[in-house]
Structure formats: C-alpha cells, structure tokens
Amino acid sequence: MNFPWLTTLLVLPLLGALVVALLPRASTAVRPVALGFSLLTLAVGVAMTTQFRTGSDEPFQLTETYSWIPQFGVSYALGIDGISLTMILLGLVLVPICIVAAWDDVPAVDRRQHTYFALMLALASMMVGVFAAVDVFLFYVFFEAMLIPVFFLIGVFGGARRWQAATTFLLYSLVGGLVMLVAVIGVYLAGPRGPEGFLVTNLTGLDLSVAAGRWLFVGFFIAFAIKAPMWPVHTWLPLAAEQARPATSVLLVGVLDKVGTYGMIRFVVTMFPEATQWATPVILALALVSMFVGAFLAIGSNDILRLIAYTSVSHFGFIVLGIFAFTTVGGAGATLYMVNHGFTTAGLFLVAGMLIVRRGSRDLRDFGGWQRVTPLIAGSLLVAGLSGLALPGLNSFVSEFMVIIGLFQRHPWLGFLAALGVILAAVYILVMYQKLATGPRPQLADVPDMTGREKFVVAPIIAAFLILGFFPQPVLDVLEPAVEQTLQHAGASEPEPAVDTANAEGSGR
C-alpha cells in the first residue's frame, strides 16, 4: 500500500492544533509547539514532492480514494497534479513564516495565544484539503470549512472593526458557497450515478445540454470569482486585510484566495468546456476591469494594508487573464503567478506590519523618511514592492511576461492593455515607497530596526524572490503538463503563429 502522503499532510497540522489547544494555560511551549508542527508538516510536504513524477500522463498522482457517502457517490478522494502540488507547498512554506511573524502578536492571556496558533494550524490543514480534493463534494466541504478558522482569526484577533470585517468576509463567502452548493447538487443530478460519481475525472467530458452546462458553470464561477476576488465582488477583501493581523492577511490573500483561480482551472474549465468558451469574453472583460480598478484604488489609498489588498485585486485580474487566454504560455504564466503572488504578498504584508507596530499607524501620511530610521525594514519593503511591480530578476517578472505573451498570442489588444497594467503597478508601488520611506528623517524617538526574529521572517521570502526570478524552470516543468491537460479538456488549441505572407512568398521563389 502506498504511503498516504496527503492524508498525513491533513492530519499533522490538525493534530498540532489539538495539542496546542490542550497545553496548560500557563505553558510557554505554545509558540514552539505550533512552529514545530508547521515545520514537520513542511518536511513531510517536501518528502512528498520527491515522490511526484514530473511530466506524468496521469491526471492526478499520490491518489487516495475511499468511499465516504456511497448513496450519493461521494468519496474521500485526494490527489495532486503540478498545480495543486505547488499551491500546497506554497501554503506549507508560508505557515511557519507566519507563525514566526506572529510570535508576539497575541499576549499569553486567557489562552488567547493557544487559540490563535491552534487556528493557524487548523487553517493549514484546510488549505491542504482544498487543494488536494479531487472529489467535487469533498472540495466543497473543505471550501466551506476553511472559513471557520479565518472568521475567528479576523473576528477575535483583528483590529477595531474586526467583527465587521469578519462578518463581511463570512457573508460574501457563504453566498458564494451556497451558489456553488446548488451547482454541486446540479452536477450530481446531471452526472454519473454510482460509486465515485463526484470524482473530477468522472465528471470531465459530461454530456450536458447547453443550458445545463452554462447554468452549472455560472454557479461554480460566481463562488470562485468571490474567493479570487474579482470585480465587482471584491469589496470584502480590503476591509478583511485592513483589520486582520498581517500574518492572517498573508494566509488569506497569499494562499486562500488562490482557491478562486485554482477552482476555475480545476473545475470550471475542465468540467464545462462549452460554457467556458461561451463565457470567456465576459470573464476577460471582468478580469481587465479588476486589474485596472485594483490598480487605481491602490494608487489612491493611504492605508498601507488596504493598498496592498487592492494590489492583489489587480494581480488576480492579471492571473485570470492568463488562465482564460487558453494558451500554454499564458496558463503556465498564470499558475506560476499564483505562486509568485503568494510570496510577494507575504513580503508586503509582513514588512508593512513591522512598520505599523513601530509607528502605531497604518496611514502613509504618518510616515515619511523611514529609510533613515529603519533602513533594513524599508529596504525589505522596497524589494517586496519591486517584486510586486515585476522587476526583471525577481519572481513576478517571468510570470507576468508569460501572461502577456500568452495574451498577445490569442488577443493582441488584451496583451497591450495588460502591459499598461504593469505600468500602473510601478506607479502604486513606487508612490507607496516614496510616501513611506523617502524624505527627511522624522522626529521620532529611537526606533529599533529589524530584529533577529524579523530577519528570519524576511530572509526566506526574499530568497524565494531571487530563486523564482532566476530559476523558474523547475516550477514551470511541474506546472506545464497540468496546464496542457487543462487546455485539452477545455477543447482549446494553441493559436496559429502569424505568418508574414510577403516574406513567405519571397522565400518560396
């Protein structure tokens, strides 16, 4: 029997959450135990990666399938392809970084520390489940279950408007989840009745009527557009990111929001190819609006955390453009961008959190000249910002370039507009840094620069910027086969290269 790698990745952080929650009230081991379990889970994830065969023709690898609710064809079915593997690894890398970043966020009073770190570990488990589920109903269960730890991480441990932010997040997510539940029931009624009837592999290529396929497509897409988030259902994100603690915002925006774009690839495109082609013009328009609206709102924002959230709205629009360009280059660039955006968001939120703690304000107008006060923190923010604007040599450049090339192959005018979005990214990042870090030294008492613990937080993120910037090919080798399979399921063919007729005739003479 093969080792149950994915179940182990699910159980370990849940076990860690239980251990942390049951530690004595006065225990000083809460944070080390939470960090230990997160690192152990990461080690198992790395070991699992060695068992993954790059370039395999199998739709999913390391699969585990057990009957769960046989009356309805529901299975406990887990498996990974290149896209889900990279998403799981992204989450497993960021969780210990976030635990260290949040080391002093919550005082050890009334078991608050126990609850905080237990919720982070529970969230890590849900992240593995939602990216590994290959049964549609099981995916829906994890899709809804991950709302619980996020709701309490924001509502209990966030800022002054934390309950408003948590409730808004929950309401948006529940609406999307309920719409998707209706679509899941529709899939059951239209799909194969019998054991394992909800497996993605059994639902790919269903013989659906045009109307049924389009309605089911809309149900799934609405849920994923809210989660992504795309305009006009993005408004929950800025409030949630503003009120959550930075470590929570990293996991929310850097990993969990990827469930939206991941779901579009895994379920929407593969299960409803005709409806996908039908809706693609509208989706591309929404993605384009998201990219520009997010960018302009970021440029006009003076709240650091809200600004970073708006940049993510813009970047998610860019990712969706790459997915629905339906080219191998664009799709691979979009999925690589999902990984890169996770690290970029982590750098921006965590370094911004360091500055906010020292200044006691999120308002950019309360800063200015901080590169003279905390040069290491300001420099780290600049590097994270340069990653966000896709500076050549840093991680986001390759993925943005690939998305633009993919768009030019299919829709040249969309490629041109996407390139304008890159220019806007440079504006909001550089304006933010100018307001925050440049100018005369502020009249402040001695403010400490980056501590040893904070260096430990920032170092692996900057290392990821450089590694993925200079050596992205190993990740692309993992992603591209899964992207090609998705294009095959969607019935999309690579666009024919443009041919210069005059030169072709001349060469034939």
Tokens of 384: 């994270």
Answer yes or no: is 13 within a domain. Answer: no
CA–CA separation, 57 vs 59, rounded Å? 6
Answer yes or no: is 323 within a domain. Answer: yes
Strand partners, 69: 74
The terminus-to-terminus CA distance of the chain in angstroms comes to 65
Can you give the pLDDT at residue 34?
93
CA–CA separation, 320 vs 224, rounded Å? 11
Mapped onto helix, strand or coil, the DSSP state of residue 421 is helix
Strand partners, 363: 303
CA angle 434, 439, 442 (to 5 degrees): 115
* Structural domain span for residue 360: 290-509
Can you give the pLDDT at residue 334?
92
pTM: predicted TM-score of the whole model, two decimal places: 0.90
Can you give the pLDDT at residue 348?
93
* Residue 179: burial class (beta carbons within 10 Å; 0-12, 13-18, 19+): middle
Answer yes or no: is 216 within a domain. Answer: no
On whether the CB atoms of residues 165 and 240 are closer than 8 A, the answer is: yes
Answer yes or no: is 64 within a domain. Answer: no
Total domains, the chain? 1
DSSP string, 384-418: HHHHHTT-TTSHHHHHHHHHHHHHHHH-HHHHHHH
Angle formed by the axes of helices 5-22 and 112-132, to 10°?
A: 170
- Average pLDDT for runs of 10 along the chain of length 509: 87 94 86 94 94 84 88 87 92 94 78 90 94 92 92 89 91 91 86 72 79 89 90 89 90 88 89 88 92 92 91 91 89 92 92 88 85 89 92 90 89 87 89 87 77 91 93 91 82 60 46
Can you give the pLDDT at residue 347?
93
Answer yes or no: is 412 within a domain. Answer: yes
Reported as type and span, the H/E element at residue 62 is strand 61-69
What lies within 8 Å, CB to CB, of 417 at 6+ separation is 288
Can you give the pLDDT at residue 140?
92
Can you give the pLDDT at residue 205?
72
Tokens of 220: 């799934």
Chain position carrying tokens 């389009």 = 214
Q: How many of the other CB atoms lie within 10 Å of CB of 81?
A: 23
Answer yes or no: is 38 within a domain. Answer: no
Strand partners, 78: 64, 133
